């Protein structure tokens, strides 16, 4: 059980990442040592190292208010502070969405709060994130738990504002009157959250290892902050949906599940937590009977939600936190909190690792593979030359001259092909420009203005439907065009590569092709998330201009992000796609020259044959060492997480 603790698995994951980093750095050095650096590759390596450094695992907690999300976060992640670190309160909390992480760049503990008034601006939270000036910054004094607890209280601060202002901010609807004033009199002012979003940088070990926890307030926030639904939650690697045993599955729990959470299941792991099972710990019942009633309720939850029973975890966050603080093992066991941690460790982390792995292996792996292939081809040619020279001993000059003549002819044919290659390369680079134009942000922005026109300023659910249709139809059309164009480009690339390999017997390498499928998939997902939001009863019921406007802002911001990535990717691709072949061509040219030079020297004086053979043998053996090194780097990069753990365990034992 103990090795299923999330913290240990996070550590193993972190070690795996640092092994990977080491492998990449080794490769970087290897490239330098062997004089094989290319500025485009260098940049790419730098980007990958940076991406690994800032790689994150996001777990989002979603539920109606008061189900115990915050308590659960305290119990799983923050128990070693021997207190309830994050404020968890009885009753309705008006907290804002809160992200907890460690700010690696600033290396500083703080709380940053985005004022609620920023909702009036046409900027998404993601965009605000890059503009610290809009956030209120509170440094955290780690040496004083009291002052820290006080600082955390700031996150849940509210303020009283006139009704009109709350309405403008999209935080009050006339239908909500009941909530604010049970006797039905219209209040003069209402309490609204001070903040729209909170970022907490905190040096907890798991956060330092790249964990991000997203704590969300209840259903209301999902309705009023569309960015949560269309961007933040779909981007999380795991979503924890929390129910409480004292309330059971209420109508609003079920609404939230159906419209906001269930659909996330495709992209990320969703688990259901049935919290507060301690309310069922009836002293008058036998332990067996208690367990039975808990199982019964969990089974009902799984049926109602249509979720496999193995993904429903009955726990008590409160007792779990208490038990961990008191080191009461029996109570920890009873709270069942470790079960949930084990699930994250066993299922979520490996999934996340496969994502990182896919990315790194795609990027760096193909570069290392390229070096590997280049070496293989050098080694191959050295071996051939060596054989040729060995065969020469005892042969007369005619044979050598004949060989030289043939080598020269090959060289001439080769140079002709190099010329036509250069021409093709120019064509390709021209055509790549068109690909980049198709993927440019200004193209997308044209679509955005068309969308706005289609809606003709009608920020209603009907207008939203029209707008979404215009937008996604437009994007799909554009991506189709990109797809067709990409196919043409890829065909040209393949042809150019093949021609060289076939005509000159060069070791075949497969060019990396540009692929838009990933971005098409991302748009498909965005469309589904947007659809979910549009169909959510909250959205349909409100007809709120405000919310719909916000929804479009987050939609556009997300879409721009996808285009930005696709464009960047295409730009890199167009610069790099020919480089393996260029290197091969250069190498082959040198080999041909060297071969001729050898033959010439030997022709002049047969005495040099032996020394030439020795030289070639020496350089072959050097090539073999380089080859072994690059193979070992390749295997480090391909190593699975489990293997890294084994190594660490072996080293420790």
Ligand X SMILES: Nc1nc2c(ncn2[C@@H]2O[C@H](COP(=O)(O)OP(=O)(O)O)[C@@H](O)[C@H]2O)c(=O)[nH]1
Q: What residues make contact with ligand X under the rule CB under 6 A? A: 63, 65-71, 88-90, 93, 275-276, 278-279, 316-318
Kindly compute the dihedral angle of the four CA atoms of residues 253, 259, 263, 264, in this order, to the nearest 10 degrees. -60
- Cα(376)–Cα(506) distance, rounded to whole angstroms? 11
Q: In Å, how far are 84, 368, 604 from 81, measured between CA atoms?
A: 8, 44, 82
Which region, judged by CB under 5 A, interacts with Mg ion, from 5-13, 63-71, 121-129, 427-435? 63-71
Shortest Cβ 195–ligand X spacing (Å): 16
For ligand X, the closer CB: 320 or 474:
320
Minimal CB distance to ligand X: which residue?
Answer: 68
For residue 213, give the nearest of 11, 106, 58 by alpha carbon.
Answer: 58
Structure tokens, 377 = 């081809």
Q: Is the CA virtual torsion 322, 328, 330, 336 positive or negative?
A: positive
- Cα(18)–Cα(21) distance, rounded to whole angstroms? 5
For ligand X, the closer CB: 91 or 184:
91
For ligand X, the closer CB: 318 or 574:
318
Shortest Cβ 275–ligand X spacing (Å): 5
Contacts 24+ apart (CB under 8 A), 500-506: 500/417, 500/421, 500/581, 500/584, 500/585, 503/413, 503/417, 504/414, 504/417, 504/588, 506/377, 506/584, 506/588
Q: Are the C-beta atoms of residues 210 and 14 closer than 8 Å to each other?
A: yes
Shortest Cβ 281–ligand X spacing (Å): 9
Shortest Cβ 91–ligand X spacing (Å): 8
For ligand X, the closer CB: 97 or 342:
97
DSSP 4: G
Structure tokens, 249 = 């599955």
Partner whose footprint covers residue 317, from ligand X, Mg ion, none (CB < 5 to 8 Å by kind): ligand X
Which region, judged by CB under 5 A, interacts with Mg ion, from 68-76, 101-109, 402-410, 525-533? 68-76
Which region, judged by CB under 5 A, interacts with Mg ion, from 64-72, 231-239, 316-324, 513-521? 64-72
3-state secondary structure of 176: helix
For residue 440, give the nearest of 565, 304, 295 by alpha carbon.
Answer: 565
Q: Are the C-beta atoms of residues 376 and 575 closer than 8 Å to each other?
A: no
Partner whose footprint covers residue 63, from ligand X, Mg ion, none (CB < 5 to 8 Å by kind): ligand X
- H or E stretch covering 238: strand 238-244
For Mg ion, the closer CB: 90 or 133:
90
Partner whose footprint covers residue 89, from ligand X, Mg ion, none (CB < 5 to 8 Å by kind): ligand X
Q: Are the C-beta atoms of residues 311 and 271 closer than 8 Å to each other?
A: yes
Shortest Cβ 199–ligand X spacing (Å): 18
Shortest Cβ 92–ligand X spacing (Å): 8
For ligand X, the closer CB: 224 or 275:
275
For ligand X, the closer CB: 318 or 353:
318
For Mg ion, the closer CB: 215 or 370:
215
Partner whose footprint covers residue 371, from Mg ion, ligand X, none (CB < 5 to 8 Å by kind): none
Partner whose footprint covers residue 598, from ligand X, Mg ion, none (CB < 5 to 8 Å by kind): none
Q: Which of 9, 28, 58, 70 binds Mg ion (CB under 5 A)?
A: 70
Structure tokens, 447 = 């679509």
State which of positions 296-335 bind Mg ion (CB under 5 A): none
What residue ranges bind Mg ion (CB under 5 A)?
69-70
């Amino acid at each position: 059980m103990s090795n299923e603790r999330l913290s240990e698995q996070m550590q193993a994951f972190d070690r795996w990442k640092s092994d990977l980093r080491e492998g990449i750095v080794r490769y970087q050095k290897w490239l330098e040592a062997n004089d094989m650096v290319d500025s485009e590759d260098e940049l790419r390596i730098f980007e990958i190292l940076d991406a690994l450094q800032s790689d994150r695992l996001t777990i989002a907690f979603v539920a109606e208010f008061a189900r115990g999300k915050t308590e659960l976060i305290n119990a799983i992640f923050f128990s070693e502070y021997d207190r309830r670190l994050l404020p968890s309160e009885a009753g309705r909390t008006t907290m804002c969405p809160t992200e907890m992480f460690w700010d690696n760049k600033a290396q500083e503990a703080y709380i940053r709060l985005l004022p609620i008034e920023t909702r009036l601006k046409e900027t998404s939270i993601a965009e605000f994130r890059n503009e610290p000036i809009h956030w209120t910054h509170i440094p955290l004094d780690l040496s004083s738990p009291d002052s820290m607890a006080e600082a955390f209280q700031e996150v849940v601060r509210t303020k009283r504002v006139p009704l009109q202002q709350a309405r403008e901010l999209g935080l009050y609807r006339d239908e909500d009157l009941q909530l604010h004033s049970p006797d039905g009199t219209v209040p003069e002012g209402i309490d609204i959250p001070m903040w729209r979003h909170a970022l907490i940088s905190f040096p907890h070990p798991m956060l330092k290892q790249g964990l991000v926890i997203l704590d969300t307030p209840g259903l209301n926030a999902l309705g009023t902050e569309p960015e949560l639904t269309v961007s933040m939650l779909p981007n999380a690697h795991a979503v924890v949906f929390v129910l409480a045993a004292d309330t059971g599955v209420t109508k609003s729990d079920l609404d939230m599940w159906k419209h906001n959470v269930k659909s996330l299941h495709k992209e990320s792991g969703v688990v259901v937590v049935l919290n507060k099972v301690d309310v069922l710990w009836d002293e008058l019942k036998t332990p067996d009977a208690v367990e039975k009633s808990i199982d019964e309720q969990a089974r009902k939850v799984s049926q109602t939600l249509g979720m496999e029973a193995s993904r429903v975890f009955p726990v008590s966050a409160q007792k779990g936190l208490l038990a961990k603080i008191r080191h009461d093992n029996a109570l920890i066991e009873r709270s069942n909190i470790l079960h949930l941690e084990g699930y994250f460790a066993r299922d979520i982390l490996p999934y996340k690792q496969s994502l990182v792995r896919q990315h790194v292996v795609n990027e760096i792996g193909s570069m290392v593979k390229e070096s590997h292939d280049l070496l293989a081809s050098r080694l191959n040619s050295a071996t051939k030359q060596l054989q040729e020279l060995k065969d020469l001993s005892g042969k007369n000059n005619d044979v050598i001259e004949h060989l030289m003549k043939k080598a020269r002819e090959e060289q001439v044919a080769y140079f002709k092909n190099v010329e036509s290659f250069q021409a093709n390369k120019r064509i390709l680079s021209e055509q790549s420009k068109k690909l980049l134009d198709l993927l440019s942000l200004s193209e997308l922005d044209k679509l955005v203005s068309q969308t706005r026109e289609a809606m003709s300023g009608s920020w209603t659910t009907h207008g939203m439907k029209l707008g979404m249709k215009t937008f996604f139809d437009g994007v799909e059309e554009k991506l189709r065009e990109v797809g067709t164009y990409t196919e043409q480009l890829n065909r040209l690339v393949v042809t150019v590569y093949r021609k060289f390999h076939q005509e000159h017997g060069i070791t075949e390498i497969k060019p990396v092709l540009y692929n838009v499928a990933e971005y098409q998939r991302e748009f498909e997902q965005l469309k589904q998330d947007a659809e979910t939001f549009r169909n959510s009863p909250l959205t349909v019921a409100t007809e709120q201009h405000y919310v719909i406007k916000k929804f479009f802002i987050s939609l556009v911001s997300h879409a721009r992000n996808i285009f930005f990535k696709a464009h960047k990717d295409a730009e890199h691709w167009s610069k790099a796609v020919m480089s393996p072949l260029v290197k091969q061509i250069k190498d082959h040219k040198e080999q041909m020259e060297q071969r001729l030079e050898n033959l010439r020297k030997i022709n002049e004086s047969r005495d040099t044959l032996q020394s030439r053979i020795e030289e070639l043998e020496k350089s072959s053996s050097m090539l073999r060492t380089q080859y072994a090194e690059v193979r070992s780097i390749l295997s480090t990069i391909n190593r699975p997480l489990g293997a890294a753990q084994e190594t660490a365990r072996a080293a420790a034992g």
